[in-house]
Amino acid sequence: MFHAKAFAPFENLATKLQPHASGSDDGSHDIAHILRVFKNAMRIQAVEGGDARILAAAVLLHDCVAVEKNSPMRSQASALAAKKASVILVELGWDRDDIAAVAHAIVAHSFSANVPPETLEAKILQDADRLDAIGMVGAGRCFYIGGRMSSALYDPFDPAGDNRELDDKRYVIDHFQTKLFKLAGGFQTKTGRALAATRDQRLRDFFAAFLDEI
């Protein structure tokens, strides 16, 4: 059951946008993910500033178009989501400039889109979304997606990839080195960077413990 109060003080907005928020059965991009990103975003916004209403709408709609990780359309997912979000907000009577601000934040949040965030709200959304890709939650999501893509956990003969080319489509654990460990260095806000440093260390500790156990 959806609980709009979890998105306070934007309960009314959340109620209107929640039916559009997630477009697939992907448990790594579901309403739980959106709520975690919302909490991250509000935590950063409380320190950094920015328009919280624009940010809340962008968070709620940033994954409104679902494109699987292994799809050739993956790099276009955020642009497609921004386009759909714009239509939704027009129907709700939003101002054109505010819609454009939400759309830019959505487009720029994606790692694969490679679009630089130009507004504070876009920077915060990118940071908030990437925080959910690292730390313990990030590790859990990584393995979930790997299972969804039918990947093996690791190469049993060279799990750390010391003597082979890393392949995160074939081995889940390779994704830590090919992408996840690189994220903390690209955060946009001071608050986001501080939060990322803690989660990045947790992720590295998890990786080390995983390798030790196998």
Q: What confidence tens digit (pLDDT) does each residue in 142-184 have?
A: 999 999 999 999 999 999 999 999 999 999 999 999 999 999 9
The three-point CA angle 155-208-135 to 5° equals 105
Q: What confidence tens digit (pLDDT) does each residue in 96-110 have?
A: 999 999 999 999 998
Average pLDDT of 75-82? 86
CATH 1.10.3210.50 domain range(s) in the chain:
1-126, 133-214
pTM for this model (two decimals): 0.93
Q: How far apart are CA 73 and CA 152, in angstroms?
A: 23
Q: How far apart are CA 31 and CA 60, in angstroms?
A: 9
The per-residue pLDDT for 102 is 98
Q: Using CA atoms of 191, 180, 76, 150 in order, give the dihedral in degrees to the nearest 10.
A: -140
Q: How far apart are CA 185 and CA 188, in angstroms?
A: 9
Q: Under CATH, to which class is 1-126 assigned?
A: mainly alpha
Query: Is residue 71 very low, low, confident or very high in pLDDT (cuts 50, 70, 90)?
Result: low
What fold characterizes domain 133-214?
Answer: Hypothetical protein af1432 (1.10.3210)
Q: How far apart are CA 160 and CA 176, in angstroms?
A: 10
Q: What confidence tens digit (pLDDT) does each residue in 39-62 have?
A: 999 999 999 999 999 999 999 999
Q: Are 128 and 44 spatial neighbours (Cβ–Cβ below 8 Å)?
A: yes
The per-residue pLDDT for 114 is 80
